[in-house]
Chains A and B, each alone.
Chain A
């Protein structure tokens, strides 16, 4: 037996293969320039929030009474609020909470939805019926009411807020995944795998789950936007993370409403931050959907 030459598995050094992800990004940017541009905006927003400690011009919670309701200036790029806290710094730090909640709640909610959808679609029968009616019941609750109820019974902190929002993200994701599982499970290749003796676990994780990923990514990218808006609404009602921690939502609540006639920037700055971020997410999500999963096109939100 001759030894197998080691380098047959390595690609010839003359052909430098760019990684798949980078190639995907390049082709995406070519096909959907607007979506790619909005992804860039999003990246900048995220980086600004990640590097908040470096970029912030002041401690977000430090009150400088001399600067109360200060208009935008060189010291305070976006002015200061009624307690003299620097709005620009609060936007940066608040973005960490708002974006974090958006991402965290989406991951948790979509994750939960995928599990429920898989179980529901794959097993079918009574379990499917019970799970789906349960999802119907949660979907029937207006999200704001559900979140108000949870905010009233749970302590108001970041984890609980993420948990509460995740509960309302899950049903939508579970329905879509279930739909996909129902159709994938009848595909010939799944039958083939089963007749080769694949266990149910292997069938689900190797053959069914990966084929729902495109839909899951699309759903996730779209729900991040609505989660950020929901967090903002909660913050506005004073039910988000407790003060004085800034979030984009509670910056609209604290003082913005009382003092907005004297200093409109107090309301405009966080509002524009939310709108810009969600707008970019939606544009990006739309593009991603067209590329990854044309079947979902026109499914509303």
Chain B
């Protein structure tokens, strides 16, 4: 049963990836000029027949459908096309060096969001309508309202002025110095996590509130269990499913958040790669970055869907 379900979900993911590649391709071709003009910059001085020759060589005069097929073919041979700006570098090689940084930041951000959001949500639900509850809800609403990069900006200003915090100057790869790497990532991922923890806290609070009144919670209390045990062992576990769904739904937002935070902290991840590619008009690179970003989100959602059954054995896959 599970295998069939996973298979079905994988097919759906492939369909979504196909549509995604179409959307990205069409969006990239909304543009008037073409990649050649971007590559050569000033075009007025180059004779038209030479331009046409180059175009034919690059395959830019093919019909759009053919160009799309070329692109898809380049996805399957692993190169994802060639960068227009950096001669001889493939799109995928640059993504491969940038992606792990964004993923690490996103993962750490998500982890800190869960570590902040879930306990706060539980406390807020258990002490419903108390002062603490209102306080936590206000703080979480603030987390939803303050743009993450603004928070980062403030921390960089006041951290450097008063707290002796310095944003990292160089990127330390995790393979060279794991501790230095984590230290460097700590503040950025906490900032990312604060924004995310707000949604997690809100959903934890409302599901725990509901679960506290369920029959199994009453049974557990009737057995004479301490309230703490009831909450942690019985209620919390059942309240985790919506949190997982939220993490899946928010994957795209988490990725976006990681992009902008890493730009702010000058980490050489996908955000900087994409924005650089946009500024240099390196279209194949932009196209590749967008597709990979989408693939990551689709992959996370697939994982979340498949792991429901692991968290809650009652879930039947249909």
List chain A positions with a Cβ less than 8 A from chain B: 133-134, 136-146, 148-154, 225, 229, 232-233, 236-237, 239, 252, 256-257, 260-261, 264, 267-268, 271, 274-275, 278-279, 281-283, 286, 297-301
CA distance A291 to B255 in the complex (A): 33
Q: B20: which A residues are within 8 A, CB to CB?
A: 137, 140-141
Distance between A169 CB and nearest chain B CB, rounded to angstroms: 13
Which of B142, B253, B283, B286 contacts A275 (CB under 8 A)? Answer: B142
The contact string, 1 if C-beta is below 8 Å from chain A, for chain B 38-69, is 00000000000000000000000000000000
- Residue in chain A with minimal CB distance to B31: A153
- Contact (Cβ within 8 A) B145 A142: no
Q: B: which residues have CB within 8 A of A?
A: 12, 15-17, 19-20, 23-24, 27-31, 141-142, 144-147, 149-150, 153-154, 157-158, 160-161, 199, 202-203, 205-207, 242, 246, 249-250, 252-253, 255-256, 259-260, 263, 271, 274-275, 278, 281, 283, 286-287, 289-290, 293-294, 297-298, 301
CB distance B145 to A282 under 8 Å?
yes
The interface residues of chain B lying within 8 Å CB-to-CB of A282 are: 141, 144-145
Residue among A133, A142, A146, A264 having the largest count of chain B Cβ atoms under 10 Å:
A142
Main secondary structure of the interface of B (DSSP, over half): helix
- Given A141-B24, A267-B157, A278-B144, 16 additional A-B pairs, CB 8 A: A133-B15, A134-B23, A141-B20, A142-B255, A142-B259, A143-B253, A151-B278, A153-B27, A225-B144, A232-B149, A260-B153, A267-B153, A271-B146, A286-B141, A298-B203, A300-B250
Asked if B207 and A133 make an inter-chain contact with CB atoms under 8 angstroms apart, the answer reads no
- CB nearest to B299 among chain A residues: A140
Q: What B residues does A138 contact at CB under 8 A?
A: 23
Contacting residues, chain A, for B286 (C-beta < 8 A): 148-149, 152
Q: Is the CB of A133 within 8 A of B145?
A: no
Which one of A133, A145, A232, A271 lies within 8 Å of B259 (CB-CB)? Answer: A145
- Are A298 and B202 in contact, CB atoms less than 8 angstroms apart? yes
Residues B260 and A298 in contact, CB atoms below 8 Å apart:
no
Among A232, A237, A281, A283, find the residue whose CB has the most chain B CB atoms closer than 10 A.
A237
Question: Tally of A-B residue pairs with Cβ under 8 A?
Answer: 162
List residues of chain B with CB within 8 A of the CB of A299: 203
**Chain B residues with Cβ under 8 A from A275's Cβ?**
142, 145-147, 150
Say yes or no: B153 contacts A142, CB within 8 Å: no
Option from A141, A148, A281 in Cβ contact (under 8 Å) with B275: A148
* Docked-complex contact B147 and A232, CB < 8 angstroms: yes
Determine the distance from Cα of A144 to Cα of B102 in the docked complex, in whole angstroms: 14
Q: Which residue of B lies closest to A129 (CB)?
A: B15
Question: Measured between C-beta atoms, what is the minimum distance from B191 to chain A in Å?
Answer: 13
Whether the Cβ atoms of A261 and B161 lie closer than 8 Å is: yes
Q: Which residue of B lies closest to A278 (CB)?
A: B145
B32 nearest CB neighbor, chain A only:
A153
Q: How far is the CA of A18 from the CA of B21 in the complex (A)?
A: 55
Tell me which residues across on chain B come within 8 A of A151, comparing CB atoms: 278
Instruction: Name the A residues within 8 Å of B203 (CB-CB).
Output: 298-300
**Is B290 a contact partner of A149 (Cβ separation < 8 A)?**
yes
Q: How far is the CA of A136 from the CA of B142 in the complex (A)?
A: 29
Residues from chain A with a CB closer than 8 A to the CB of B153 are: 252, 256-257, 260, 267, 271
Q: Please give the distance in Å from A109's CB to the nearest CB on chain B.
A: 15
In the assembled complex, how far is the CB of residue A256 from the closest CB belonging to chain B, in whole angstroms? Answer: 8
Residue pair A261, B256 in contact (C-beta under 8 Å): no
A261 touches B160 (CB 8 A): yes
Task: Closest A residue to B282 by CB, please name it.
Answer: A152
Determine the residue in chain A with the shortest Cβ distance to B18: A137
**Which of A133, A137, A154, A274 interacts with B150 by CB under 8 Å?**
A274
Distance of B15 from chain A, by nearest CB (Å): 6
* Closest Cβ neighbor of A172 among chain B residues: B249
14 A-B pairs with CB atoms under 8 Å apart are A133-B19, A141-B294, A145-B289, A148-B274, A150-B27, A154-B30, A233-B260, A260-B157, A282-B141, A282-B144, A298-B202, A298-B206, A300-B199, A300-B250
